[in-house]
Amino acid sequence: MSETVAKNNDDSKRTKSNGALLAKSSLDAKTGTSFEIFQHSCIRQNFDLVWLDESLDEKNIKCKKLAERLASIIKKLDVFNDTENCIKDIQNIRSKNVYLIISNPDENILTRAHQTEQVKVIFILAEGHAADPSWKVNRQKIHDIYTSLEKLCESIEKTANTFESKLEKLCLLSNEEMEKDTLDKLDQAFIYTQLIKEILLKLEDDNRCVQKLIAYCQENPPSIKTMLKGMTDFENSYRIEGTPVGWYSKESFICYLVNAALRSQAFDRVIRVGFFIKDVHEQLVRLHEEQVSSKDPTFTVYRGQGMEKKYFEKLKRNNGGLLAFNSFTSTSKNPGVADSFLSRALEKSPIGILFKITVDPSITSAVFADISKFSDHGTEEEILFSFGTVFRINEIKQRTDDSRIWDVKLRLTGHEDKKLNDLMEQLRREIEGPTPEYKLGTLMIKVGEYKKAEEIFDDLLKHEKDQQHKAELNYQLASVKYKQGDLEGSLAHCHEAERQYEKHPNARVNLATVYVNYGLVYDSQNNYKDALGYYERAREIYEENASSNQSHIATCYNNIASLHEQQHDYDQALEYYKKSSDIYEKQFPSGHPDLAVIKNNIGLVYRKKKDDEQALQYFREAVNIGCKILPPEHPDLSTYKANFNSTKDKLDHDE
């Protein structure tokens, strides 16, 4: 079933690009030099790498060599030859996760660097100079002292992998600043992780998926020997060995890619490694069936990790609520193993967490297994949970002997949140389609991954024979093209979909969805007469068809309201927007992405009516719903937040 598209009438605030661009720094030896890297698009960097070296002019070649050597894990390397500029620049870095290399330091430089909050790890390069052991005294951030560039690079790579593992993304609450009644809800990350998991597990096996992933990663210059070796081994032996869990347990490139994609919810990357995620999950299912009986007694497993303060504060506020890890979750039956991970994590993290997880084998919705015989670390007694497993937080307690360590008791649970389940069921209906690939394309539209959605639907259209299915695919491509701003491309696909649907009398409701898309395009071209005509034709079809989803009618009301708004008839616009809002609030009391669109649009009208207090109220509601329903990087959520913040700033300024 085709889905109608609600118009978000906020062109001035809509983000035009689908991803952040890396700004180029000027090459100025007196301040800092930024070495850009042609980087693996499948790698996301979670830290900034900075090098402070007072002899910068003599080391430019080595800087480039270091940048190329670490291209698998960094996007750029910033180099400074002046301490003041270096510290000032670090303090302005928003990520607050800086790896700092210092060449041949003195006491003053080390002290200032160690006191800088954003600096998480310090590497000392004493190339050609005697290392001073006193440098490390009472400075826990100093990782070690290195006498060669190669050893330094190896250490940074290992440390980066450890840091990545402690950046475990927890699904907990909606935005707590905006939403106060969400203590028993998982956030939007869990919803979309579960949906993509369901789809990935149903996708047909692609015999060339391994080769496609390797080709995707090898789009970069072949200068990363360690990563290329790992990719070559994977390509040559993965299908032969047939142990996905074993590959996941290795410190390999595939494990890094999977964890980075799942934790960051980079859906394009999740799809590319989807075959491996599916393989690991299916092997866990088989092992679970072999090892676990619902009559087995309850047991306890442990997990030690570090955590940043902001995430821990969110965890504490959610005591008693639900928690899920976005990636596969590694635990151990042996508390000593977890303690060793915890001790290592505390070297780099302000807070250490020991999760004590009670597991009831009678909970059939959870998938986990003992993977000791497949693991490179068989003595760790590892129990691996599939990604998206849900836990209840029973207790969070600070240790008396070390205030940095907290014991967190979890209990394995099912999907208990009724509102969450209702919303997920509604989203399942909205992405319904004839094949898992089709559902995946529709989900990509939902999460704002328009380029990936276009790629999926284009590929499906090339191989489709059925005329009605072709119409569906053309409609989806029309929708994607509209969202990308390609109005002519959207119209072309609309014409094809309309032509194909008109051959099928039972596809009248589907034809209405095409009329809505026509309306959106003509609306964007300021052809309000034709836009209104198509919106009204669509509404009439929906209203005469008893089986039509009420949300389709609400969409038509929203888009008609938008036309009135653009013609400065604000009262009429508000009347139609509120009709649309009423339908969504009755049908989806726990929220829906289109309801956030409508709340935002109402706020825009009130802002044009110079009623900023009312506008702020509706923008706040849009942000609340968006934070609960949409992925964090969704362009619509950025729009809602921008509107809320600009209106709040205006009100504060007026006071």
Of residues 370 and 120, more confidently modeled: 370
* DSSP-assigned letters across all residues of 127-183: TTS---GGGGTT-TTEEEEESSHHHHHHHHHHHHHHHHHH-PPEE--S-TTT-SS-T
497-522 average pLDDT score = 91
Which of 140-154, 273-287, 395-409, 558-572 shows the lowest per-residue confidence on average (mean pLDDT)?
Answer: 140-154
**Exposed e or buried b for every residue in 85-105, given b needs 16+ CB within 10 A?**
ebbebbeebeebbbbbbbbbb
pLDDT band of 118, cuts 50, 70, 90: confident
- Between these two residues, 93 and 123, which has the higher pLDDT value? 123
Condensed to tens digits (0 to 9), the pLDDT of residues 156-202 reads 876 765 544 444 445 553 333 333 333 334 456 677 778 888 898 88
Coarse DSSP helix, strand, coil percentages of the chain, rounded to the nearest 5 percent: 55, 15, 30
Q: Is-same-fold flag (433-544; 558-654)?
A: yes
Residue 222: per-residue pLDDT = 37
The CA radius of gyration of the chain, in Å to the nearest whole number, is 27
Tell me the C-alpha distance between 596 and 179, whole Å: 14
Model pLDDT, residue 378: 66
State CA 127 to chain mean position distance.
40
Instruction: Assess whether pLDDT exceeds 80 at residue 401.
Output: yes
Q: Is the per-residue pLDDT at 392 higher than 50?
A: yes
pLDDT at 229: 61
Asked if 633 contacts 269 with a C-beta cutoff of 8 angstroms, the reply is no
Q: How many CB atoms lie within 10 A of CB 612?
A: 18
**How far is Cα of residue 591 from the mean position of the Cα atoms in its chain?**
20
Residue found under tokens 């193993």: 337
Question: Would you state the pLDDT for residue 136?
Answer: 78
Domain 433-544 CATH (choose: 3.40.30.10, 1.25.40.10, 3.40.50.720, 3.40.50.300):
1.25.40.10
- Give 415's pLDDT tier (boundaries 50, 70, 90): low
Tokens for 441, please give them.
């394309």
Q: Which residue has the tokens 């400065």?
A: 568
Domain spanning 48-165: CATH 2.60.90.10: no
Residues 122-141 have a mean pLDDT of 79
Name the range with the highest mean pLDDT among 184-188, 418-422, 444-448.
444-448
Q: Which residues pair with 368 in a beta bridge?
A: 385
- The two three-digit tokens of residue 544, written as one number: 């005469």
Q: Are 64 and 36 in contact (CB under 8 A)?
A: no
End-to-end CA distance of the chain: 50
Tokens of residue 120, six digits: 């998480």
Pick from 156-165, 207-216, 249-258, 281-290 the range whose average pLDDT is largest. Answer: 281-290
Q: Is the pLDDT of residue 11 over 80?
A: no
Give residue-wise pLDDT tens across range 596-607.
Answer: 999 999 999 999
Q: How far apart are CA 405 and CA 651, in angstroms?
A: 43
Label residue 499 exposed, middle or buried (CB < 10 Å: 0-12, 13-18, 19+).
middle
In whole angstroms, what is the distance from residue 356 CA to residue 300 CA?
A: 7
The pair of structure tokens assigned to 453 is 């959605």
Higher pLDDT, 620 or 427: 620
Judge whether residue 240 has pLDDT over 80: no
Does residue 378 contact residue 302 with C-beta atoms inside 8 Å?
A: no
pLDDT value, residue 178: 30
Q: What are the structural domain ranges in the chain?
A: 48-165, 188-415, 433-544, 558-654
Between 377 and 643, the higher pLDDT residue: 643
With respect to CATH, is domain 558-654 assigned 1.25.40.10? Answer: yes
What is the pLDDT, as a whole number, of residue 177? Answer: 30
Min mean pLDDT across 79-83, 380-384, 637-641 is at 79-83
| Angle (nearest 5°) at CA 463 between 459 and 466 | 125
- 327-353 pLDDT, tens digit per residue, is 899 999 999 999 988 888 887 788 999
The domain defined by 188-415 folds into Toxin ADP-ribosyltransferase; Chain A, domain 1 (3.90.176)
**Dihedral sign computed on CA atoms, order 640, 645, 651, 653:** negative
Decide: 80 and 32 in contact? Cβ < 8 Å.
yes
Q: What percent of the chain is predicted at pLDDT more than 90?
A: 31
Give the pLDDT band of residue 74 (cuts 50, 70, 90): low
Number of H helices, E strands in the chain: 25, 15
Quote the mean pLDDT of the chain: 80
**What does the DSSP 8-state code read for residue 18?**
S
pLDDT at 103: 87
